[in-house]
């Protein structure tokens, strides 16, 4: 019995799960470990994580993994070929290998998702928390701005921005981000309002913390988890919006192998050469599934109430 | 027995009346500022877009003198705030300007395009709600069972699939191969001369005018695009229903109700769902507003002459009058739906009232 | 108890859906075919901005007006270098080449029942010139202005119309211009009842709009069909004109349904919901050709697609570079794949079928030669350049192909996609590097293309004319411009043709234009249609001869 108790795994785990952490670092690590073990229990969530890791892997090693160039094709001889031994997913209308384009396109997909999340989420978080915490006319003004952006037809806003800023994937990303942040602001505000009158906030106020510090170090972290979950779940929508912009001709510049643009340009052949549009569609489907499973898993892990049942 | 009106009671009543007046005032201010903001943003966008609207009207071949003259006629040489002021003044009296493309008054164009989208979005949301809510409830009640997984997967696929791809596939299967549905547009050419729409909602008008063959044909045209939108709506609604229901089913009053011996059906449908209905209504309203925004992609594939196509076409030709008009209409619907769901929320859930 | 509840619930759902499917399947299939007396065409008609012949300039509108209005003379479909009489019974040209006298056929009526007189013709010309909309230049280029039009285009008696021009142009040129939409005849009496008052300004001196507001969506013509309705982005509906002076049309009505997607048009055509599909892409066109129930037809159109190099860019201004670009397009591969069926490789600026056409395609993809030329220009390591491309096909596909061939000599091409009007705005402002576009003839005469490709009177940024040569800042050699203008006045058709051939040869060798292909319009249609043909131009796509078995 003493061997089990003294074995290193047991003691490390015990150290992490101790309810009397000696240092803040230990407390943080302990919390992270708890969340991780809850997450790891959910098999579907692990599958989601696996998909995303695969995506990242593809993006990093695209040069090595792709059999052909994603931008050079043989127009005359290899156009619109069905999947075969040489081209596992066939070729597109410029004779380019679809598998290679898919692999390189993972970089663009990650780029789009990452950028939109980096722009939209913090903006929404800041506006939402400030608005929820400050109340009064600050809240009114910020919420008016949010409502205006919410009421605005998303398509018009995105189209107009892309038209104004010029084509290209960065501008498309900006356009999507600008239309994505209002829901996050609303969520953050709603969350903030539920606990802004609670005891621990009052306690910190009593200790003399400035509103700025309160919002930054106490309010925002609490909203973070639901925001992360929401952002992850929105990833699919973001990719599809980028595809939709590509459909209207405002997405990535050719010949970039962005998955949405591939579907948009492949839809002309859907009746006879279905693979050109379908294969990137399936890729988007799998990645979205991955993000959704990941998001669900995160939500279950971060909010034990939901997971408990 | 009348209650004597003491000074305290009078004071409280006055306070409540004042409170209500304040609320109404706040309401008006909110609406007006949002509208003005909408208009200002759209106007700004119109001037920032690098498309020459005169080009859209005259085309590429017009000689330079004609171009200059028309630019003057369209008032494009005046400073921005003057144009804005002129526009707002006209809009207040119901004149939304003329579309430079179709040369009809924008209001007339929208009166034709908007009901098409309205009909489609309503069909989709009704489908999404009446199938999505029961599915969500089922998934919540049978959590982690096979049924739950199926419902979740259906939902996830609905989230992740490109609509134009699915739409084209659906056309191939249900229209070309099975001949179950009709395409393109809203109505067959046979009724070109015999059907006079009243409200623009063909299903409603056909029933009103008792033209049953028109009703059937209109239904066959709307069922595929409507079901497509319904599927996306369903994916979202079923997921949210499941989430809210899970929340409710954990509450203690459920345990209490079960202990009291109430039937399971009653507990689920009459107690849990009713409480989950509060945020659910907001979700459905938002989903409806989202569909109304005019799914351009759906309208393009099915040649549905709705407001999504109208606005996109106008934007691509820098026809800002039309874009402004369309934005106002859609923005109004959004604002209206938001306000309505806020109101509903406050009415149904007293906890949200104290502020 | 719970199980029974769930079972009942499931049963209810099952029976409901079963009932629905039975209903759908049992539905009458009566509406699968189009009505026997109606032609339904699937056609992208969102380019129409007006149905007023004095204003309409888009291809779809040109087709509609050609089927609903009458002209003095029309293009001869059997010999496109000639014209045939429509409203005119005969015409003469004065010896000095300045006066054209038309004798109208007597006893003809408009759709409204009003008689067609020379006064209507004169008034039609008058309103075009005074309204001064986009297509007006086709008439005003002959020296007509708002002040002199009533003199220069007038009815000398009820059946005689005279048209006076300012220079002794080649009669073929003048007559060709009169076959344009803008020269159609409107019903003066009818339109006068619909004019709207307008406050005169210094830019527009007249007190009424000549019925322009009403005619945008209205109709006042005399063609085989009359325009019943135009619903923007939705449909155009034509109805048989029972007062038509010629053979009554076999069909009672024609409906153009707006459909943008080629795949959608093909599905609808195969399922019988439309009779004709007009916007088929190569793949769908080939599939329609293979179908047992469908036929296909095609006709070359007077539109050429080209790539142009802005001479403001110092690299592109080098003559060796412009020549090198002509060798860096894979014409054969593009012809075999991207434009198969919808276009033919064509490298001269006059389309086939036009007087003076030159059928020479000397350039082929030659990377080695291009490298040599670039080295001569001191650019053997290539350079970076952008190209503005509309996000439609086939131009996007061609741009991508060119991007790849250019990469082989070290030229890095960045494609800037944009929507049609957006790229056009940039092009007209001369802020592009390279542009890929198309030019369709305004009227069926060589001058239309010759002018735009070889005339650039004022190359400065304020230059008034927006010819393609100007847009690319190309300082055209003065002799070429002079030759182009002289060809306008050359009365001998053969000599005139030779002048254009010479011009095309020069442009082939030394211009910043790389002409790639000429458009072929295609259509798929049901086998039971008789007499369906596409003409050499959009305003000769007649539907008046179509009938159904």
Q: What is the DSSP string of C193-247?
A: TT--B----SS---SB-TTHHHHTT-----SSEEEEEEETTTEEEEEE-TT-SSP
Decide: helix, strand or coil at residue C89: strand
Of C5, C203, C424, the CB nearest to B55: C424
Of the candidates A195, A186, A187, which has an alpha carbon nearest to the alpha carbon of residue A214? A195
C284: chain A residues, CB-CB within 8 Å: 271
What is the C-alpha to C-alpha distance for residues C52 and C124, in angstroms, rounded to an integer? 11
Q: Give me the residue from C266, C400, C422 closest to A271, CB to CB.
A: C266
CB-side exposure of B157: number of CA atoms within 13 Å?
A: 10
Per-residue pLDDT band for B25 (boundaries 50, 70, 90) equals confident
Is C268–B265 a contact, with Cβ atoms under 8 angstroms apart?
no
Over chain C (549 residues), what is each successive 10-residue block's mean pLDDT? 46 46 41 80 87 88 93 89 90 93 94 94 94 88 91 92 92 91 94 90 85 91 93 89 92 91 89 92 90 92 93 92 93 91 93 89 93 90 90 88 92 86 84 92 88 87 81 90 89 89 92 94 93 89 90
Question: A144, B156: Cβ pair inside 8 Å?
Answer: no
Mean model confidence pLDDT for chain B: 81
Q: What is the 8-class DSSP label of residue C539? A: G
Within 8 A of B263 by CB-CB distance, chain C residues are 1
CB contact under 8 A, A309 and B250: yes
pLDDT classification of B107: cutoffs 50, 70, 90: confident
Dig out the tokens for A173 from the structure. 């990303």
Phi and psi at residue B162, to the nearest 5°? -70, 130
Would you say A156 and A217 are in contact if contact means Cβ atoms under 8 Å apart? no
How large a percentage of chain C has pLDDT more than 90?
57
- Give the whole-angstrom CA distance, residue C375 versus residue C387: 22
What's the pLDDT score for residue A7?
57
- Nearest of C419, B295, B322 to residue A248 by alpha carbon: C419
* Confidence at residue B223, expressed as pLDDT on a 0 to 100 scale: 93
- What are the CA-CA distances from residue B18 to residues B26, B120, B208 (Å)? 12, 42, 45
The reply to whether B25 touches chain A by the CB within 8 Å rule is: no
Of residues B45, B160, B316, nearest to A285 (C-beta): B160
Rounded alpha-carbon distances, angstroms, from residue A123 to A214, B22, C151, C174: 18, 31, 69, 65
Region A208-215: mean pLDDT is: 79
Report how far residue C121's alpha carbon sits from residue C155's, in angstroms, rounded to the nearest whole number.
Answer: 8
Q: What is the DSSP string of C466-533?
A: --HHHHTT----HHHHHHHHHHHH---HHHHHHHHHHHHHHHHHSSSEEEEEEEEEEEEEETTEES--
The per-residue DSSP string of C17-34 comes to: HHHHHHHHHHS-GGGGSP
Q: Quick check: C415 and A93 CB within 8 A?
A: no
- Looking at chain A, which residue has its C-alpha nearest residue C283? A269
Contact C338 A93 (CB under 8 A): yes
* pLDDT-derived band at B351, boundaries 50, 70, 90: low
Distance between CA atoms of residues B36 and C281, nearest Å? 45
Map residue B5 onto helix, strand or coil.
Answer: coil
CA dist list (Å): C50 to C229, C343, C474: 12, 28, 34
Cα gap C258→C264, rounded to integer Å:
11
CA distances from C101 to C92, C118, C158, C294 (A): 5, 11, 13, 47
What chains are in contact with A, requiring at least 3 Cβ pairs below 8 Å?
B, C
Closest alpha carbon to C209 in C154, C132, C137: C132
> What is the sign, positive or negative, of the torsion defined by CA atoms of A154, A160, A165, A169?
positive
Q: In this structure, what DSSP letter does residue A91 have?
A: B
- How many residues are listed for chain A in this entry? 309
Q: What is the largest CA-CA distance in chain B?
A: 86
pLDDT given for residue B160 in this prediction = 76
| Cα(A49)–Cα(C302) distance, integer angstroms | 57
Specify the range with the lowest mean pLDDT, choosing from A36-40, B52-56, C485-489: B52-56
Structure letter (DSSP) for residue A106:
H
Residues from chain A contacting residue C415 (CB–CB below 8 Å): 253-255
Q: Is the pLDDT of residue A308 over 70?
A: no
CB C260 within 8 A of CB C279: yes
- How many CB atoms are located within 10 Å of the residue B146 CB? 8
Burial class (CB in 10 A: 0-12, 13-18, 19+), C158: exposed
Between B57 and C128, whose confidence is greater? C128
| Of the candidates C293, A245, C262, the residue with the CA atom closest to the CA atom of residue B171 | C262
CA distance A217 to A228: 17
Closest among B226, B196, B219 to B208, alpha carbons compared: B196
Q: What are the Cα distances from residue A234, in Å, to A134, A150, A238?
A: 28, 16, 6
Q: In whole angstroms, give the CA distance from residue C316 to residue A27.
A: 66
Yes or no: say if B243 and A299 are a contact pair by the CB < 8 Å rule: no
> Under an 8 A CB cutoff, do A93 and C403 touch?
no
**Chain centroid to CA B274:** 24
Contact A268 C392 (CB under 8 A): no
Exposure on the CB side of residue A181, measured as CA atoms within 13 A: 26
| Amino acid B294: pLDDT | 58
The per-residue pLDDT for range B183-213, each reduced to its tens digit, is: 888 888 878 777 888 888 888 888 888 888 8
CA dihedral C65, C69, C74, C75 (to 10 degrees): 20
**What Cα–Cα distance (Å) separates residue C215 from each residue in A245, B111, C54, C79, C207?**
37, 22, 9, 33, 17
CA nearest neighbour of A291 among A240, A249, A216: A240
The arithmetic mean of pLDDT across residues A277-295, rounded, is: 85
DSSP β-ladder status, C434-440 and C384-390: parallel
ipTM of the complex: 0.76
Question: How far lies B89's CA from each of B92, B97, C22, C366, in Å?
Answer: 5, 11, 56, 63
User: Measured between CB atoms, which of B156, B250, B323 is closest to A156?
Assistant: B323
CA torsion angle B67 B68 B71 B76 (round to 10): 140
CB contact under 8 A, B62 and C24: no
DSSP assignment, residue C355? T
Q: Which tens digit of pLDDT belongs to each residue from A90-149?
A: 998 888 999 999 999 999 888 888 888 899 999 999 998 888 888 788 888 888 888 888
Provide the 10 A C-beta neighbour count for residue C428. Answer: 17
pLDDT: which is higher, C183 or A226: C183
Strand (E) or helix (H) holding C314: none
Once rounded to an integer, what is the mean pLDDT over residues B313-318? 76
Compare CB distances from B160 to A264, A288, A306 and report the shortest one's residue: A288
pLDDT value for B14: 78
- Over its C-alpha atoms, chain B yields an Rg (Å, rounded) of 25
Give yes or no for residue B355 having a pLDDT over 70: no
Q: What tokens does C304 get? A: 């050429």
Q: At which residue do the structure tokens 């699937």 appear? A: C42
Query: Residue B36 contacts by C-beta under 8 Å, 6 or more apart in sequence?
Result: B88
N-term to C-term CA, chain B: 34
Radius of gyration of chain A (CA): 24
Write out the DSSP string of A43-86.
Answer: HHHHHHHHHHHHHHHHHHTHHHH-SS-SS---TTTSTTPPS-SS
φ, ψ dihedrals at B163, nearest 5°: -65, -35
Q: Tell me if C401 sits within 8 A of C429, measured CB to CB.
A: no
β-bridge mates for residue C437, sequence order:
C306
Element (H, E) at C257: strand C253-258
Interatomic CA distance for residues B88 and B328, integer angstroms:
11
Comparing CB atoms, the residue among C283, C332, C399 nearest residue A272 is C283
CB contact under 8 A, B51 and C425: yes
Model pLDDT for residues C62-100, shown as the tens digit of each residue: 999 999 999 999 998 888 878 999 999 999 999 998 999
DSSP C105: P
- Please check the confidence at residue A172 and state whether its pLDDT lies above 50: yes
Q: Which of C266, C283, C290 is the best residue to mutate to test the A interface, defined by the most A CB atoms within 10 Å of its own CB?
A: C283
**C31 to chain B: which residues are within 8 Å by CB?**
182, 188, 190, 217, 220
Q: Specify the long-range contacts of residues C446-450, CB closer than 8 Å, at least 24 apart.
A: C446/C350, C446/C354, C446/C355, C446/C356, C446/C487, C446/C496, C446/C497, C446/C500, C447/C173, C447/C484, C447/C487, C447/C488, C449/C302, C449/C304, C449/C349, C449/C350, C449/C351, C449/C354, C450/C349, C450/C350, C450/C484, C450/C487, C450/C500, C450/C503
């Amino acid at each position: 019995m003493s061997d089990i108790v003294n074995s290193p795994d047991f003691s490390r785990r015990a150290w992490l799960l101790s309810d009397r952490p000696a240092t803040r670092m230990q407390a943080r690590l302990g919390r992270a470990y708890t969340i991780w073990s809850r997450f790891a229990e959910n098999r579907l969530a692990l599958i989601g994580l696996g998909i995303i890791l695969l995506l990242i892997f593809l993006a990093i090693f695209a040069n090595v993994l792709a059999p052909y160039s994603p931008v050079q094709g043989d127009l005359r001889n290899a156009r619109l070929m069905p999947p075969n031994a040489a081209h596992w997913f066939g070729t597109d209308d410029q004779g380019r290998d679809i598998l290679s384009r898919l692999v390189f396109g993972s970089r663009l997909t990650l780029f789009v998702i990452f950028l939109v999340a980096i722009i939209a989420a913090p903006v929404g978080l800041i506006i939402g928390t400030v608005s929820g915490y400050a109340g009064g006319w600050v809240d009114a003004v910020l919420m008016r701005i949010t409502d205006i952006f919410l009421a605005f037809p998303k398509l018009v806003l995105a189209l107009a921005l892309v038209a104004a800023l010029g084509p290209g994937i960065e501008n498309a990303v900006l356009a999507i981000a600008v239309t994505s942040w209002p829901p996050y602001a609303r969520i953050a505000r709603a969350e903030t309002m539920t606990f802004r009158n609670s005891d621990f906030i009052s306690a910190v106020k009593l200790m003399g913390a400035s509103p700025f510090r309160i919002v930054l170090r106490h309010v925002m972290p609490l909203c973070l988890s639901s925001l992360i979950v929401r952002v992850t779940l929105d990833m699919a929508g973001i990719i599809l919006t980028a595809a939709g912009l590509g459909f209207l001709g405002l997405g990535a510049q050719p010949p970039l192998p962005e998955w949405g643009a591939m579907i948009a340009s492949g839809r002309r052949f859907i009746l006879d050469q279905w693979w050109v549009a379908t294969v990137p569609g399936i890729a988007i489907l799998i990645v979205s599934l991955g993000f959704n499973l990941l998001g669900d898993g995160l939500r279950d892990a971060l909010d034990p109430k939901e997971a408990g049942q | 027995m009348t209650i004597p009106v003491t000074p305290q009671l009078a004071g409280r009543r006055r306070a409540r009346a004042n409170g209500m007046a304040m609320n109404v005032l706040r309401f008006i201010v909110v609406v007006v500022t949002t509208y003005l903001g909408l208009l200002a943003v759209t106007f700004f966008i119109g001037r920032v877009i690098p498309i020459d609207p005169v080009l859209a009207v005259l085309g590429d071949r017009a000689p330079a003198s004609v171009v200059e003259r028309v630019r003057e006629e369209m008032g494009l040489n005046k400073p921005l705030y003057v144009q804005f002021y002129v526009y707002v003044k006209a809009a207040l009296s119901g004149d939304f300007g003329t579309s430079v493309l179709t040369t009809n008054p924008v209001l007339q164009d929208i009166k034709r395009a908007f009901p098409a989208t309205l009909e489609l979005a309503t069909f989709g949301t009704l489908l999404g709600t009446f199938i999505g809510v029961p599915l969500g409830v089922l998934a919540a009640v049978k959590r982690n069972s096979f049924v739950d997984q199926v419902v979740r997967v259906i939902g996830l696929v609905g989230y992740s699939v490109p609509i134009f791809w699915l739409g084209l596939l659906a056309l191939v299967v249900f229209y070309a191969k099975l001949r179950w549905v009709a395409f393109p547009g809203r109505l067959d050419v046979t009724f070109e001369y015999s059907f006079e729409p009243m409200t623009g909602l063909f299903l409603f008008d056909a029933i009103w005018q008792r033209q049953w063959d028109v009703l059937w044909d209109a239904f066959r045209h709307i069922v595929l695009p409507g079901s497509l939108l319904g599927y996306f709506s369903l994916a979202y609604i079923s997921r949210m229903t499941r989430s809210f229901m899970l929340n409710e089913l954990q509450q203690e009053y459920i345990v209490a109700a079960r202990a009291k011996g109430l039937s399971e059906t009653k507990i689920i449908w009459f107690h849990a769902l009713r409480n989950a209905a509060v945020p659910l209504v907001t979700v459905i309203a938002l989903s409806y507003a989202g569909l109304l925004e005019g799914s351009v992609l759906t309208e393009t594939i099915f040649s549905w002459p709705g407001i999504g196509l109208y606005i996109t076409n106008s934007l691509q030709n820098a026809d800002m009058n039309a874009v402004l008009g369309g934005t106002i209409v859609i923005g109004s619907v959004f604002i209206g739906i938001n306000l309505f769901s806020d109101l509903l929320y406050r009415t149904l859930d007293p906890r949200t009232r104290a502020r | 108890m719970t199980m029974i509840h769930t079972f009942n619930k499931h049963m209810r759902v099952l029976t409901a859906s079963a009932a629905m499917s039975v209903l759908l399947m049992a539905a009458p299939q009566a509406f699968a075919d189009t009505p026997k007396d109606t032609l339904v065409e699937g056609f992208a008609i969102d380019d129409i901005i007006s149905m007023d012949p004095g204003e309409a300039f888009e291809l779809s509108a040109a087709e509609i007006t050609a089927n609903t209005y009458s002209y003095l003379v029309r293009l001869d479909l059997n010999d496109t270098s000639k014209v045939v009489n429509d409203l005119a019974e005969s015409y003469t040209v004065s010896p000095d080449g300045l006066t054209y006298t038309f004798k109208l056929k007597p006893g003809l009526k408009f759709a409204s029942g009003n008689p067609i007189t020379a006064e209507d013709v004169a008034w039609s010309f008058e309103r075009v010139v005074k309204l001064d909309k986009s297509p007006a230049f086709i008439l005003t280029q002959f020296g007509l202005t708002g002040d002199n039009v009533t003199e220069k285009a007038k009815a000398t008696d009820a059946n005689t119309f005279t048209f006076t021009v300012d220079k002794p142009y080649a009669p073929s040129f003048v007559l060709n211009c009169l076959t344009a939409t803008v020269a159609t005849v409107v019903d003066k009496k009818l339109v006068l009842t619909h004019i709207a008052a307008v406050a005169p300004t210094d830019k527009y001196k007249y007190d009424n709009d000549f019925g322009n507001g009403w005619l945008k969506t209205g109709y006042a013509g005399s063609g085989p069909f009359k325009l019943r309705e135009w619903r923007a982005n939705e449909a155009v509906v034509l109805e048989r004109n029972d007062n038509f002076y010629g053979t009554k049309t076999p069909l009672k009505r024609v409906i153009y349904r707006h459909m943008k997607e080629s795949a959608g048009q093909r599905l609808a055509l195969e399922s019988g919901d439309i009779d004709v599909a007009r916007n088929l892409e190569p793949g769908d066109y080939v599939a329609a050709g293979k179908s047992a129930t469908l036929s296909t037809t095609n006709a070359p159109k007077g539109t050429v697609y080209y790539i142009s190099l802005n001479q403001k860019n110092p690299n592109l201004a080098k003559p060796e570079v412009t020549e090198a670009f002509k060798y860096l397009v894979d014409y054969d591969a593009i012809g075999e794949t991207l434009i198969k069926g919808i276009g033919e490789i064509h490298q001269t600026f006059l389309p086939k079928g036009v007087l003076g056409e030159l059928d020479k395609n000397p350039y082929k993809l030659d990377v080695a030669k291009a490298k040599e030329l670039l080295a001569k220009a001191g650019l053997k390591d290539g350079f970076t350049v952008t190209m503005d491309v509309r996000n439609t096909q086939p131009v996007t596909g061609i741009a991508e192909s060119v991007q790849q061939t250019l990469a082989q000599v070290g030229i890095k091409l960045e494609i800037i996609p944009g929507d049609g009007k957006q790229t056009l705005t940039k092009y007209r402002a001369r802020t592009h590097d390279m542009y890929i576009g198309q030019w369709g003839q305004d009227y069926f005469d060589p001058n239309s293309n010759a002018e735009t490709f070889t005339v650039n009177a004022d190359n400065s940024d304020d230059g008034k004319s927006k010819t393609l040569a100007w847009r690319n800042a190309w300082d055209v050699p003065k002799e070429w411009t002079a030759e182009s203008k002289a060809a306008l006045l050359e009365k001998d058709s053969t000599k005139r043709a030779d002048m254009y051939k010479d011009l095309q040869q020069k442009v082939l060798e030394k211009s910043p234009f790389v002409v790639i292909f000429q458009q072929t319009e295609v259509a798929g249609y049901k086998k039971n249609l008789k007499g369906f043909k596409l003409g050499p131009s959009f305003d000769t796509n007649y539907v008046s001869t179509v009938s159904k078995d």
